[in-house]
Amino acid sequence: MLYPEIEPRESGWMDRPDGHQIYWEDVGNPDGIAVIFLHGGPGAGISPNHRQYFDPEKYRIILFDQRGAGRSRPFGSLENNTTQALIGDIEALRVDRGIEKWLVFGGSWGSTLALAYGQACPDRALGFVLRGIFLCRPSEIEWFMTGMGNFLPDAQEQFLAAVGLAKNPGAQALLDVYGDYFAGKHGADAASLAARAWSGYEARCCTLLPDESFVEGFEGDGVALALARLEHHYFVNLGFFRDNQLLEDLHKIRHLPAIIIQGRYDLVCPPVSAFDLARAWPEAEMVIVDDAGHASSEPGIARELVRATDLFAAKLAQ
């Protein structure tokens, strides 16, 4: 379903004034339609298969590791790490790569950031491909902390046991407990174990069918620490958004084309958010994948993401 594996034409680090260094890749046709890939998490980072959702003959694909994630430096850093700073990084990268406008592609937290970036810089977006919608509302954060476990109680038990809990104390209390672990109040080893538990719990909830290789990828040191600490950081700060910001400011981008792709059985980002977004953006196309959960790697999701980028390639080439 994906396009063949491809290596970057160029890659490097972009220095930011506040000390962060942002790793980026430039892939595909240098004269193609520009697209920016926004990964999930926050903190998950990019991987080679993310390059494969786009026809490399038609697209110039820009990918980057968001602050604190992947190969960006310093790894796992929370300092100066806000949605507004990420939007600044995206704009700086656009200017650095000499791109006037681009298609904005993002899934999960990447859909959140895509909407936030588009609303901040509507004149720079050609359109949107959004997957596994997360609007960073308090109800969605509470669901992540307390709701997913209703479907995977065995996974939730491991999530709680890692921080010494036998039952879920509620979203805010659980965030507080994990915050103490991530701050090192129980020691470095306990913080690392807590990060793996957080990331592994999310991974187990991502796919419709169990996928241990997917879980192992999330629990590795190259992902777990940044993913867990950054997700916690953004959760406790409500994504650095005002209440319901992404829906209230949707009028800034409603004139732009969009395709929303959502797994019917997505436990991490339940479909209600995609439906809320589609109701507020009736001009957008919404696709419900009936045999999928949250992960972009699931066959039905991958198929629809490639279909969406192919549709945009044909549309934007006209």
Query: CB under 8 Å to 164, separation ≥6 — which residues?
Result: 177
266 catalytic per annotation: yes
139 catalytic per annotation: no
213 catalytic per annotation: no
Q: What is the DSSP letter of 146?
A: I
| Of 108, 111, 199, 273, catalytic | 108
Integer angstrom CA distances of residue 128 from 113, 206, 253: 11, 22, 10
Query: CB under 8 Å to 198, separation ≥6 — which residues?
Result: 159, 162, 178, 224, 227, 228, 231, 232
Strand partners, 289: 263
Amino acid identity of 205?
C
- CA–CA distance, 116 with 28 (Å, rounded to integer): 26
DSSP string, 60-128: EEEEEPPTTSTTSBSTT--TT--HHHHHHHHHHHHHHTT-S-EEEEEETHHHHHHHHHHHH-GGGEEEE
- State both tokens at 144: 């992540």
Integer angstrom CA distances of residue 116 from 21, 81, 121: 21, 15, 9
- Measured in degrees and rounded to the nearest 5, phi and psi for residue 198 equal -60, -50
| Of 77, 199, 266, 296, catalytic | 266
CA 131 to chain CA centroid, nearest Å? 9
| Of 20, 232, 233, 294, catalytic | 294
Report strand pairing: 59-64 vs 21-28: antiparallel
Q: What is the DSSP letter of 29?
A: -
Q: Which residue has the tokens 């209440």?
A: 243
- Annotated catalytic residues are 108, 266, 294
